[in-house]
């Protein structure tokens, strides 16, 4: 009986003690500005039990009534709070003036610490202040750039992620920051960094906050932080028709630039000049071009109007409309999904979005289609052998199992994908590798020249290559565009599910099925009517004049239902223009105009090959001198081009503003069932206030 009573007493005492223990939670803020403090240590005094506040200053810890919670933070006065009856304990910590004389931090791979920066410091750079005190922080000249956004940003490297006012910056910018500009410095260890910023924060994060309002971001400080690569744009200039009579270029059905620019503007980010490709902005939108009515795979459309932004020049529009085939009439497809699952793809706007996007494609496949999946990270491997398109559950399950991690052996993955596609080649079918990546190849053949050589060799097999770009921060536009160009395919940038629906839904046939390859355009302006001309955009699509009839020269592909639009601004004969420079007289050649074509403005020629052909076919269209009233399509195309010129800070926009862009776009909105033109107008209006 006594034993039972003792056991009962022990049990009662234990229950009583447990009843006194409870979960305490709260938010820790700065007493000076009320902002949350991440990384604050909350310790139960006299024990080893501790937690740290998260990015929003929130914490929770199990403690008993009577326990003392100790809040510690580098540069902040230690504060103690005794646990009472309440479960919510919010604390405002005050600065410790004695601790503000120096910045005290520890390695970002160890504990997380934070510092306030004293206002009366001299102005050393932050990098020199931290050098030797935080692993990965040094004053070496090496530069590494990172992406934008609060979560899931940048590519993982041996360096920490540097975040200034909520926006990642490059190491170079970090090294140049003066300490007197900063209010707060914080170091997150690898675990905390990954928790807050995703996989890209797994090497630790250095969080910086400047003085002044949090939403007053200094774009001069964070500019050029991206580790994104773009081909340099040298804007086309006016050319005299007597000196340079021909303009030759490859078509471009890629649309990646527009969705990429849209992403930047929606994120409140400045748009890098070299990210602006006007031809891809123009071709993102569809226009009211009629279908071809003859044996050729596309129809030609032209229009000439007075230039909306310059009353002394004329604007020429040349459009192509590819024949549209119903999806059920497209030939059988042999598709190989080549998916990047490296560490840099571990983000919601990368692999997660990629999986959801590919589901849209899979759901449109037919029984006669075949799908294989190849993945690559540190190495490449096959995760799905050729599977019939009606086995959607098997394909989707293989996609869902994909996880990211490791380095990026892109060259090895491309080789394996092509080998698999070649083994399952469908004669008279659509044989295509679909590469989905952020383009950050860093293992094996990864240079642009190596990749170009590889793709040019592989395209001889008859397997085409489409490229889908995902994510930002370490996005390699230049590499992905090159891969698609050399692989006889197209290139899109997927920034959201709406864009995925556009690429794999509305434009499914154009994305996957080529109706004409190596499509080239050559325009000859009549020097009796045209003094000078300027091709707007297509800077990296220009061809030598002799390449037009050279069937060995590669050019762009046209897919089912695709449209292509090109704009020229022309200066009529007799008009004085500051855009034209005087040229020296020729000694051995006379530039005399001898033709009698007084009613012709220009002649445009097209060459293309059938998808399985080697010999080009030529089409010719002659344009008269009639100046028309601008159609809705012309007004809208003009607005898009003018927007691109504004982003490029073009010298040829004649002082036109974003108000002019909006006015033109509204005049050209027309029938906009899909809402893309309305979205463009909203985008321009947003950009005006950035």
| Model pLDDT for residues 443-491, shown as the tens digit of each residue | 455 566 777 888 888 888 889 999 999 987 677 888 889 889 999 899 9
The pLDDT value recorded for residue 148 is 26
Domain C-terminal end among 474, 490, 510: 510
Q: What CA–CA distance (Å, rounded) separates 571 from 573?
A: 7
Confidence of residue 176 (pLDDT cuts 50, 70, 90): low
CA distances from residue 476 to 254, 275, 299, 473, 523 in whole angstroms, order as listed: 15, 11, 34, 9, 32
Strand partners, 208: 164, 185
The pLDDT value recorded for residue 218 is 38
Confidence of residue 52 (pLDDT cuts 50, 70, 90): confident
The pLDDT value recorded for residue 622 is 98
Residues 202, 249: one domain? no
The pLDDT value recorded for residue 180 is 64
Residues 480, 339: one domain? yes
The pLDDT value recorded for residue 448 is 66
Which comes out higher in pLDDT, residue 688 or 172? 688
> Average pLDDT, whole number, for the chain?
82
The pLDDT value recorded for residue 96 is 64
The pLDDT value recorded for residue 204 is 76
DSSP string over 111-158: --EEEE--TT----BHHHHHTTTSTT----S-------SSSS-S---S
Angle at the Cα of 639 from the Cα atoms of 636 and 641, rounded to 5 degrees: 110
The pLDDT value recorded for residue 145 is 33
For the residues 418-426, what does the mean pLDDT come to? Answer: 94
Which comes out higher in pLDDT, residue 137 or 278? 278
pLDDT > 90: what percent of the chain? Answer: 52
Is the confidence at residue 682, as pLDDT, over 50?
yes
Is the confidence at residue 255, as pLDDT, over 90?
yes
Domain C-terminal end among 64, 96, 128: 96
Helix, strand or coil for residue 27?
strand
Token reading at 448: 């642009």
Is the confidence at residue 323, as pLDDT, over 80?
yes
The answer to whether residue 685 sits within a structural domain is no
The answer to whether residue 146 sits within a structural domain is yes
Residues 314, 170: one domain? no
For the residues 221-230, what does the mean pLDDT come to? Answer: 53
Residues 312, 335: one domain? no
For residues 61 and 24, the answer to whether their CB atoms sit within 8 Å is yes
| Model pLDDT for residues 156-174, shown as the tens digit of each residue | 345 678 787 766 776 656 7
Which comes out higher in pLDDT, residue 524 or 212? 524
The pLDDT value recorded for residue 101 is 37
| Model pLDDT for residues 659-671, shown as the tens digit of each residue | 999 999 999 999 9
The answer to whether residue 523 sits within a structural domain is yes
Residues 339, 463: one domain? yes
Pick from 116, 70, 108, 69: which is nearest to 196 by CA?
108
For the residues 531-552, what does the mean pLDDT come to? Answer: 97
DSSP string over 282-310: HTTS---PPPP-SSSSEEEEEEEEE-TT-
The answer to whether residue 7 sits within a structural domain is no
Question: Which CATH number characterizes residue 501's domain?
Answer: 3.40.50.410
The owner of tokens 């091709």 is: 535
pTM of the complete model: 0.69
The answer to whether residue 458 sits within a structural domain is yes
Angle between helices 256-266 and 477-486 (to 10 degrees): 160
The answer to whether residue 301 sits within a structural domain is yes
The pLDDT value recorded for residue 254 is 92
The pLDDT value recorded for residue 445 is 56
Question: Which CATH number characterizes residue 318's domain?
Answer: 2.60.40.1230
The answer to whether residue 639 sits within a structural domain is no
Pick from 552, 543, 553: which is nearest to 522 by CA?
543
Residues 314, 401: one domain? no
Question: Which CATH number characterizes residue 207's domain?
Answer: 2.170.130
For the residues 503-520, what does the mean pLDDT come to? Answer: 90
The pLDDT value recorded for residue 106 is 31
Which comes out higher in pLDDT, residue 571 or 22? 571
Is the confidence at residue 298, as pLDDT, over 60?
yes
Residues 250, 389: one domain? no
Q: What CA–CA distance (Å, rounded) separates 236 from 18?
A: 77
The pLDDT value recorded for residue 194 is 58
For the residues 535-542, what does the mean pLDDT come to? Answer: 97
| Model pLDDT for residues 334-367, shown as the tens digit of each residue | 999 999 998 888 888 899 999 999 999 999 999 9
The pLDDT value recorded for residue 688 is 86
The pLDDT value recorded for residue 421 is 95
Q: Domain residues for 250?
A: 239-323+515-579+594-628
Residues 504, 360: one domain? yes
For the residues 35-58, what does the mean pLDDT come to? Answer: 81
**Mean pLDDT lowest for which of 63-77, 517-531, 634-648?**
63-77
Is the confidence at residue 563, as pLDDT, over 70?
yes
Residues 91, 130: one domain? no
Is the confidence at residue 253, as pLDDT, over 80?
yes
**Mean pLDDT lowest for which of 7-21, 25-39, 271-285, 551-565?**
7-21
Question: Which CATH number characterizes residue 90's domain?
Answer: 2.60.40.1120
Is the confidence at residue 317, as pLDDT, over 80?
yes
Residues 474, 455: one domain? yes
HSE-up of residue 603 (Cα within 13 Å, Cβ side) = 12
The total domain count for the chain is 4
The answer to whether residue 161 sits within a structural domain is yes
What is the β-pairing status of strands 246-250 and 239-240? Answer: unpaired
Domain C-terminal end among 96, 117, 152: 96
The pLDDT value recorded for residue 179 is 64
Is residue 275 classed exposed, middle or buried when 0-12, 13-18 and 19+ CB atoms within 10 A define those classes? buried
Q: What CA–CA distance (Å, rounded) separates 463 from 485?
A: 13
Q: What CA–CA distance (Å, rounded) separates 284 from 574?
A: 36
For the residues 79-92, what does the mean pLDDT come to? Answer: 92
Residues 301, 445: one domain? no
Residues in the chain: 690
Candidate ranges 43-47, 138-142, 303-307, 672-676; pick with highest mean pLDDT? 303-307
The pLDDT value recorded for residue 104 is 31
Residues 430, 334: one domain? yes
| Model pLDDT for residues 107-159, shown as the tens digit of each residue | 333 334 444 343 333 344 444 444 433 333 333 333 333 222 323 333 334 56
Which comes out higher in pLDDT, residue 5 or 673? 673
- Burial pattern 79-108, b for ≥16 Cβ within 10 A else e, equals bebebeeeeebebebebeeebbeebebebb
pLDDT > 70: what percent of the chain? Answer: 78
For residues 176 and 143, the answer to whether their CB atoms sit within 8 Å is no
């Amino acid at each position: 009986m006594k034993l039972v009573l003792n056991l009962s007493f022990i049990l009662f005492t234990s229950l009583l003690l447990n009843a006194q223990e409870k979960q305490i939670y709260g938010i820790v803020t700065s007493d000076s500005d009320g902002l949350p403090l991440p990384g604050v240590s909350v310790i139960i005094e006299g024990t080893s039990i501790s937690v740290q506040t998260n990015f929003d200053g929130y914490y929770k810890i199990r403690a008993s009534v009577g326990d003392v919670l100790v809040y510690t933070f580098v540069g902040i006065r230690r504060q103690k709070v005794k646990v009472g009856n309440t479960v919510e304990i919010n604390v405002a910590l005050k600065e410790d003036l004695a601790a503000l004389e120096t910045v005290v931090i520890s390695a970002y791979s160890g504990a997380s610490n934070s510092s306030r920066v004293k206002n009366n410091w001299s102005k050393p750079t932050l990098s020199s202040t931290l050098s030797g005190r935080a692993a990965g922080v040094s004053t070496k000249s090496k530069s590494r750039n990172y992406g934008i956004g609060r979560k899931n940003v940048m590519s993982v490297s041996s360096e920490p992620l540097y975040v200034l006012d909520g926006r990642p910056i490059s190491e170079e910018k970090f090294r140049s920051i003066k300490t007197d500009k900063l209010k707060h410095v914080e170091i997150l260890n690898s675990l905390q960094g990954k928790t807050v910023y995703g996989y890209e924060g797994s090497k630790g994060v250095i969080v910086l906050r400047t003085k002044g309002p949090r939403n007053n971001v200094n774009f001069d400080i964070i500019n050029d932080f991206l580790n994104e690569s773009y081909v340099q744009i040298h804007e086309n200039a006016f050319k005299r028709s007597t000196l340079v009579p021909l303009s030759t270029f490859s078509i471009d059905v890629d649309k990646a630039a527009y969705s990429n620019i849209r992403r930047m503007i929606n994120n409140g980010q400045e748009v890098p000049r070299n990210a602006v490709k006007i031809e891809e902005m123009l071709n993102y939108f569809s226009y009211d071009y009629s279908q071809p009515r003859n044996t050729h795979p596309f129809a030609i459309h032209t229009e000439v109007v007075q230039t909306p932004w310059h009353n002394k020049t004329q604007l020429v529009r040349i459009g192509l409309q590819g024949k549209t085939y119903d999806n059920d009439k497209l030939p059988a497809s042999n598709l190989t999904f080549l998916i990047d699952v490296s560490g840099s793809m571990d983000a919601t706007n990368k692999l997660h979005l990629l999986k959801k996007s590919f589901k849209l494609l899979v759901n449109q496949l037919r029984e006669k289609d075949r799908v294989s999946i190849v993945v690559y990270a540190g190495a490449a491997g096959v995760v799905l052998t050729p599977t019939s398109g009606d086995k959607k559950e098997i394909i989707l399950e293989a996609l869902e199992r994909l996880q990211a991690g490791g380095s990026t052996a892109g060259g090895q993955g491309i080789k394996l994908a092509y080998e698999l596609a070649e083994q399952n080649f469908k004669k008279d079918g659509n044989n295509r590798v679909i590469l989905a990546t952020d383009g950050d190849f860093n293992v094996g053949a990864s240079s642009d020249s190596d990749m170009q050589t590889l793709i040019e060799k592989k395209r001889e097999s008859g397997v085409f290559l489409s490229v889908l770009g995902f994510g930002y921060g370490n996005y390699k536009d230049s590499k992905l565009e090159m891969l698609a160009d050399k692989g006889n395919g197209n290139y899109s940038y997927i920034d959201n599910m709406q864009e995925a629906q556009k690429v794999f839904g509305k434009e499914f046939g154009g994305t996957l099925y080529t109706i004409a390859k190596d499509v080239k355009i050559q325009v000859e302006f009549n020097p009796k009517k045209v003094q000078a001309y300027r091709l707007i955009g297509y800077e990296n699509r220009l061809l030598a004049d002799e390449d037009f009839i050279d069937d060995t020269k590669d050019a762009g592909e046209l897919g089912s239902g695709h449209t292509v639009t090109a704009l020229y601004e022309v200066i009529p004969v007799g008009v004085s223009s500051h855009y034209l420079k005087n040229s020296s007289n020729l000694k051995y050649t006379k530039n005399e105009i001898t033709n009698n074509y007084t009613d012709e403005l220009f002649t445009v020629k097209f060459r293309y090959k059938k998808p399985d052909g080697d010999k080009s076919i030529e089409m010719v269209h002659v344009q008269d001198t009639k100046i028309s009233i601008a159609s809705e399509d012309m007004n809208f195309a003009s607005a898009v081009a003018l927007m691109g010129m504004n982003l490029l800070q073009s010298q040829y926009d004649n002082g036109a503003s974003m108000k002019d862009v909006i006015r033109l776009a509204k005049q050209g909105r027309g029938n906009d069932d899909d809402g893309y033109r309305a979205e463009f107008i909203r985008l321009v209006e947003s950009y005006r206030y950035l």
